[in-house]
Amino acid sequence: MKLNELKYNEGATHNSKRVGRGIGSGKGKTCGSGQKGQKARSGVAINGFEGGQMPLYKRLPKRGFTNIFAKKYVNITLARLQEALDSKLIDAKATIDADALVKGKVIRRKKDGVRLLANGELKTKVDLKLAGASKAAVAAVEKAGGKIELSAPKEAAAKEAKKTKRAKTAK
């Protein structure tokens, strides 16, 4: 079989119905759109309109909200980190941070920080400096002989400083 011999199976394709080609075709004159009205015109879009009945999207209650201040973290698994170390994309001897992961093309961009998740296993001893990690991921890094430093977000650090300042003034 050659590329020029490829074709669809018998009955798999149908020719589109040619409309507006005379009354004998059954789809002549108004082309199946009926007489006049909005739907007979071009450029009609009545999605979600239910003929005056309250539409479904208005009948259902609103729920929740979108937190515009939410941090967008990049998640990386232990398995992906080990894979990058094995293929020499990142240096195990240096401290691994978000910039090193971007430079090694392990992640595309760092967004608001990198979080380490505990999928897979880590065999190499590494020093990490990341924005966050799960408890299981921290345990796995320490089990492998490495250490992980979590940089607290700026807001959390500011709140902590405020608390200590209040505690000092209260005394």
| Residue that wins the pLDDT comparison between 45 and 142 | 142
Q: What is the pLDDT of residue 157?
A: 63
10-19, 37-46, 81-90: range with lowest mean pLDDT: 37-46
Cross-strand partners of 117: 77
Domain count, the chain: 1
| pLDDT surpasses 70 at 156 | no
Q: Can you give the pTM of this predicted structure?
A: 0.57
| Percentage of the residues of the chain whose pLDDT score is greater than 90 | 72
Residue 22 near residue 28 (C-beta atoms within 8 A): yes
Specify if 139 maps to a domain. yes
Query: 56-98, pLDDT tens digit by residue?
Result: 999 999 999 999 999 999 999 999 999 999 999 999 899 999 9
Dist CA 124 CA 134 (whole Å): 18
Specify if 89 maps to a domain. yes
Q: Which domain covers residue 88, as residue numbers?
A: 74-157
Q: What is the pLDDT of residue 9?
A: 95
Give the confidence band of 105 by pLDDT, cuts at 50, 70, 90: very high
Q: What is the pLDDT of residue 153?
A: 61
Residue 81 near residue 125 (C-beta atoms within 8 A): no
Q: What is the pLDDT of residue 16?
A: 92
Dist CA 162 CA 171 (whole Å): 15
Specify if 95 maps to a domain. yes
CATH assignment of the domain containing 116:
3.100.10.10
Specify if 165 maps to a domain. no
Give the confidence band of 147 by pLDDT, cuts at 50, 70, 90: very high
What average pLDDT does range 4-32 have in this prediction?
Answer: 92
Specify if 67 maps to a domain. no
Specify if 109 maps to a domain. yes
Rounded to the nearest integer, the mean pLDDT of the chain is 89
Q: How would you class 22 by CB atoms within 10 Å of its CB: exposed for 0-12, middle for 13-18, buried for 19 or more?
A: exposed
Specify if 142 maps to a domain. yes
Specify if 29 maps to a domain. no
